[in-house]
Structure 1
Amino acid sequence: MAFQLDHVVLLVPYDYLANPPSWITDNFTLSPGGRHGDNKTENRLVLFRDGTYLEIIAFINDDPENRRGHWWDRPYGVVDYALTAAQPIDYDALIKRLEKSGTGIAYAEPKSGGRMTDGKEIRWNVTFPPGPDRGKVPFFCEDVTDRQWRVPITERNTTHPCGALGMAGILSEVKKEDLDRLSTANAAAVDSPQQSSHRYEIGTPKAVSQLKKPAIRLQEALKGSDRSLFLNLILQTGRRESSRPIYEVVDGGVVSILFE
C-alpha cells in the first residue's frame, strides 16, 4: 500500500480564521474551509500543488466546552497530520501491523466525518489512534465525496508568497525514551521497514517534478523540552534557497513551519 501525505492540522485561536495575522497572510494564500459536522471546529485551508494542504483549524468562538474532551484540546500549533491512499486502505491490515509492533499504539475503526462549504456537504471517513496517541502517529482520511470538493486545487489558490509548492513532511520531536517506540509505530502505520534514521518516505496525491517525496521524521527533542511531542511542518519550494522559517508563539503554544 502506497500511502500519501494528505493534510496537516494547525490549531489557532478562532479570531485567526476571520482576521489572520501577517505571518499567515504574508506567506500563504488562504482558501475557504467550513464548519465541521460536530459544530465544535471550523477551518480555512492552505492548498499546495502536490495535492496536500494545511488545515488551519479553530474551536468555534474559542468556547472551552468545544475544547473539552476533544482530541485537539492542545496548545496552539501543529497538532496532527493525516495520510490517505489512491486505493482503499486495508484497515484490518493496519490494525494487525500495529498489534504486531508491540508499541501499545492502536487504531479505532473508521468513522464518518464531514463539513459544509458553500452549501455543499463534503464527506470522508477517518480512522484515529486513541486520544492520547493523536499526533504520535498519523491518522487516515479517505474521501467519500469527490476529493476535488475537499481539496479544490487551482493554480491561483496554490500560488503562495513564500513560494511553497508542497509538503516535505512532518518532523516529530519526541522524548528520548519514546523515540524507538514511536519510530516503530510509525513504521508499522505506513507499512515501511524500520530505519535507523527514523525517517519514512510517503507520497503525495499529485506529482510535482521539482519536489522530492515527503517523509515522516522523528528525532529526539532538545534537552529541557517539557513536551512529550512537538510537531513541525516542513514545506518545500523547489528552489535552491530555502525560505525563512516561521516560528510564532501563540498564547503559550508554538507554530513551527520549516522550509527546505
Structure 2
Amino acid sequence: MSIPSTKTLDHIVHLTPPGTVDEVSRQFRDLGFNVIPGGTHAGGLTANALVILQDGVYLELISFTHPASHYPPGSPDRAKRDANPWAWKSLGWIDYAFLGSSKASIANIINDRAGTHIYEPEVEGGRVRGDGKVLKWVISAPGEELGRGSTPFFCGDVTPRELRVPIDPPSNAEHPSGVLGIAYVRVLVGRKALSELSSQLQFVVGEEAILKTNTQLQWELKTPSGSGSTRNPRLVLSIPTNEEEEVSLKDRGPGIAEVAFWTGDGGKAGEAVTPYGKVVWLRPT
C-alpha cells in the first residue's frame, strides 16, 4: 500500500463562546461566506457549522454547547469537557487539520520520519448531522509537548468524506464574496521557537519548506479537490511582524494568526477582523 499524503489541508477550526454557533454563522455570512449547518459532536460537548470552499477545504465554526460551569465539578461530563483539547483555548482561529487516513496510521508515518514520538495513535471520533446521518472518523493529534494549534491534527474518514463535507449541491461552496479556496494559513511563533517548530512541520508535511528566511518559512500544501482555478494553499510559519502580533503571541501562545482566501474576478479583496480572528481576501495575479 502506498503511503498517504500528509500535506492535504482538510479544515480550519474557529472557536466562539459556548452556544454561539448561530451567532458566528451570522457573522461569517456578513463577511460574505455561505454557512451551512453542521451538527453536534459525539458526546454532545460541541456543535458546529461549516463553510465549504471549492477546493474541498472547509472552515469549522465550533463552540461548546455549554460553559464549563454547566457541569457539576467532579462529574464525568465536567471531566470530559475539561479534557477537550480546545477547552482552554482562546477564542478565534484555534486549530487546523490535514486529511488523514482510516487505513494507514498517520501517526506512525510521521513518528518514523521524526525518529521519535511526536504524534499520538489514532482515536475514534464522530458527530451526528442535523438530518440524523452518523459520521465517523479517526483523529491523530500532536503530542502534548507540541501543543494543539501550531502543528496540525489529522482527520481520516471512516464514513465517506462527502458526508462530513457536503460539497453537493455545488451551491454549498458558492460564496457572495467570491471566495474560491484557501490561499494560506499563517501560524505565529516566537523567534526562539521558530527553528524547532519548523523542523516538526517538516516531519509532518514530509518535505522541506519552499521558502525559508530568518523570520518565515512556507510549505506548499494540497487540497481535497485540487487547486482548480486557484493556486495551492500554503502553510506559513512566521514570527510576529508588529507590536499587535507580539501581544497576541504573548496572550494566546503560538497558533494561527490569520487565514487568507483566494477570490475570483470581482471578488472581495482586503482584510477584516472578526470578533475573534483575522481574515484576508486575495485575488490571484
What is the TM-score with the length of structure 2 in the denominator? 0.81
Shift, 1:98, TM fit = 2.9
Of 25, 30, 51 in structure 1, the residue corresponding to residue 35 of structure 2 is 30
Report the 3-state secondary structure (helix = DSSP H, G, I; strand = E; otherwise coil) of the residue aligned with 1:8: strand
**After alignment, is 215-224 or 169-178 more displaced?**
215-224
The letter for the 1-side match of 2:194 is L
The letter for the 2-side match of 1:244 is G
Q: Which residue of 2 aligns with 1:183?
A: 198
Could you tell me whether the CA contact under 8 Å between 1:13 and 1:76 is conserved in 2? yes
Identity of aligned residues (%): 29
Unaligned 5+ segments in structure 1 are: none
**After alignment, is 1-10 or 60-69 more displaced?**
60-69
Shift, 1:78, TM fit = 0.6
Unaligned 5+ segments in structure 2 are: 70-77
Q: Distance in 2 between matches of 1:129 and 1:23?
A: 31
**Higher helix fraction (1 or 2):** 2
Equivalences for 1:35-50 in 2 at 5 Å?
A: 35-50=40-55
Q: 1:202 to 1:110 in 2, by over 3 A?
A: same
Equivalences for 1:1-260 in 2 at 5 Å?
A: 1-2=4-5, 3-20=7-24, 22-26=26-30, 27-64=32-69, 65=78, 67-72=81-86, 73-84=88-99, 88-91=103-106, 92-99=108-115, 106-117=118-129, 118-131=131-144, 133-153=147-167, 154-194=169-209, 196-197=212-213, 198-221=217-240, 222-223=242-243, 224-225=246-247, 226=250, 227-231=252-256, 232-239=258-265, 243-249=269-275, 254-260=276-282
Higher relative contact order (CA 8 A, sep 6+): 1
Q: Distance in 1 between matches of 2:94 and 2:81?
A: 13
Q: Could you report, residue by residue, the CA deviation over 1:68-96 in whole angstroms, capped at 9, with x for unpaired residues? A: 23211211101000011589545322112
Could you tell me whether the CA contact under 8 Å between 1:184 and 1:194 is conserved in 2? no
Shift, 1:210, TM fit = 1.7
Q: 1:202 to 1:86 in 2, by over 3 A?
A: farther
Q: Distance in 1 between matches of 2:40 and 2:190?
A: 35
Q: 1:70 to 1:85 in 2, by over 3 A?
A: closer
Could you tell me whether the CA contact under 8 Å between 1:29 and 1:158 is conserved in 2? yes
The letter for the 1-side match of 2:200 is A
**After alignment, is 68-77 or 15-24 more displaced?**
15-24
What RMSD, in angstroms, separates the aligned Cα atoms of the two structures? Answer: 2.3
The structure number with the bigger radius of gyration is 2
Could you tell me whether the CA contact under 8 Å between 1:10 and 1:77 is conserved in 2? yes
Q: Could you report, residue by residue, the CA deviation over 1:155-210 in whole angstroms, capped at 9, with x for unpaired residues? A: 21111122111112310011111111111111110101245241111101112432
Q: Distance in 1 between matches of 2:119 and 2:156?
A: 15
**After alignment, is 194-203 or 49-58 more displaced?**
194-203
Query: Would you say how many aligned residue pairs link Structure 1 and Structure 2?
Result: 252
Report the 3-state secondary structure (helix = DSSP H, G, I; strand = E; otherwise coil) of the residue aligned with 1:148: helix
